[in-house]
Structure 1
Amino acid sequence: MEKRNFTAALLMAFVVIAIILCLFAFPHAGLQAALRGVSIWWDVLFPALFPFFVISEIMLGFGIVHFFGTLLDPMMRPVFRIPGIGGFVVAMGFAAGYPVGAKLTGQLWTQKLVNREEGERLVAFTTSSDPIFLIGAVSIGFFHDASLAIILAVAHYGGSLMIGLMMRFHGKKSRPTEQKSASQGWIWKRAFESMHVARMSDGRSIGALLSQSVLQSVNLIFVVGGLVVFFSVALEVLTQARVMNAIYMLIDSLLRFTGLPLELSQAVMNGLFEVTIGAKAAGNAPAALALSSKVAIGAFILSWGGLSVHAQIVSLLSHTNLRYMPFLISRFIHALLSAAIVIIFWEPLQVFRDTKTVFMPQYDPTSPILSYLRLLLPMSGTVILAAFTVIAGLFAAYSLLRLVYEKVGGTR
């Protein structure tokens, strides 16, 4: 174990030294890459993620997470082998995007509401792009076609659900976490009492809760921004030094094997490091290339997340015992699944584009990405409301069927 840790530390030291030497050799390229990374963070990530960071902290303090945990436990355990409290993480993760799911999972682990295997399933399942980024930045900003958002959403979120079902077999021998309940009786009553107990246990005033939520969220968003800038600079200077040539050759071989255009290798390379830069490169690929190929690579990059997102996840989970390897494997499988869904279902999904039923506001392709985000930010609340509405509807149906079953069984 110590030998393995020493080897990893030695390899990391060589990589850092190589990046420093490349920065000395290509200072201008490094500066430009850093400025691009800061622009991405300020224009895209800060407005898209910061509100959700604050909201998630407040909802945890008020016990709303515990309310949904008690309510959803009968559904989440049989399907995904995750405690019901994970339903809240799923909704917030899909609505807010990476790395909110990992942040909430780390908090649940700290409160001993999930164990290691359940946390690993939850992080693998809920690490996804948010709808604002998928629609506003990728579909409109990079591909200049709002109708592509439907195809990307089907591939990306459909792949996430498939990963959730696959990950239920992860850690089959682990014992599930028991759902603590304040009392026995009707599940809605237990849910409200669980929320009340959690709120009383937290004990902070509304002012203290709000101020601490903002402070913690500011610290986290700066960590996210720093990682984006670092990986943007590392990719640029290593590319300038031709250190990445071997990886380019490997990517070219894989693209040739799958039948995808070799011109998309630059997008794949960028996407391996940073999702925003990679998705932009896919959207800006030569117009002569098949649109289905470019969208497939875009879906691959969105689902992989980039090493920048991976570093964010590792940073957020550093205080837990959750392992990185299950997350890494699930990201790679998710990326392959999303690209395959685009290629296989490209023709059937064209019906959503042919109808011209564009569900987004009118946009100007020459406008900066930030203008789209300003138009789309209200959609985040709609997505969260819709997610909770669907969950509540499913649970209402489940409760009704269970009530009917118990009454029928009682009359026999």
Structure 2
Amino acid sequence: MNSRKELFVTSFALFSLFFGAGNLLLPPLLGYNSGEDWVWVTIGFMITAVAIPIIGIFAHAKLQGTMYDFGKKVSPIFSLVYCVIVYIISVAIPSPRTASATHEIAIHPAFGTSPLTTSLIYFILVLVFVLNRSKILNIIGKFLTPMIVIMLLLVIGIGLYSSSFTNIGTFETPIVSGILEGYQTFDAIGAVVVGGVIIISINFKNTASFEIKKQLIRRSGLIAGLGLFIIYAGLISVGAYYGTEINIDNSLSNDMQRANLLSGISLSALGAFGNTVLCILISLACFTTAVGIIAGTADYFKGLFHNSQNAYIITAVIACAFGVGVGQLDFSTIIHIALPVLMFIYPITIILILLNVMPDRLASKTVFRGVVLITFIFSIPDFLGFIIPRENIQGIVDTIPLAQYTLGWVIPAFVTFIGLNFSKLFLKANH
């Protein structure tokens, strides 16, 4: 494969592994609720749904290892525990969520099948792709992603052309709302998971030097990031511009509102053909993400058990079986379970991504340990806020900057990073 073709196949595959159920359903309703503030909401959403994940791919390009390498500077035990937690979360929440979204929006309305039937067929197909590991990059990059992108651009382009802006925003802090909604895409966690999938897939057929692979991964990340930016901004803006043209019934859950809005936009933009396009689009977007998650999880446990192919197969089978089970839950229930988990693991993931992409002189073992520890401590109120009544921790929240926005870890982590680096410089100057 020539270098340019390999770059675009890898970029498309990376885009598709990122772009799943949440990525398609979250932005339109975010735009719908943001109205005239949709640009500010988009900026916030891009921070957690594009910038951080692509920086994560840059970190993978620098390390060219596995997710284990992201946390090993803290300690081997921490890294092991972190990896296991992230992979369990990935298999337990975002992977089944793709099956649930596919069933609720694409399969059940068209065929009336049960969640069990949908999940069973869905994860059998996922397993077939995952077991054909060496072909994942080519199949997704050459065939599935172009179909997804073409259909998305059709919906966005025709939607923007045929609608007029009339909506008033409802967010008090649009940028923060965008940041927190970006959490629910799982893209930062996706970066550390699917980045490993990309690296292993490249290594299957590429014997180039470390630096050439580094350039390929970084450029692929930039192209995939640009694609995500265009699609997200398009979906958010379409949601905002269709504000009063589509009735989404505010009595429904957010998740059904998301589905109804996206369906309404597709029907308005593409007519009766819109439903078919939407079903195919959701099915493909969800499917490629599930493949990436389960392949990444199987890759990790294969490495954990001394490169055992049996460990890879067993992990893939268990992950797919788990997906069938959890896939029986509706999309709303899975999102509800996910939120407190995200508030616990997302800040640590973001910090690990940022530290790993920095020059080694600024991210020593001491810096890693200090910043990760502080991030963990100050993200506890954010986590607790979703599992106990908010008033029980209001006193703590009021004393931590940005904690009222569930971002209480940001300033303490930054101050710790600066303080530890200045301390190192001070100690070096006095020796």
Q: TM-score, structure 2 length as denominator?
A: 0.31
Q: TM-score, structure 1 length as denominator?
A: 0.32
Larger Rg: 1
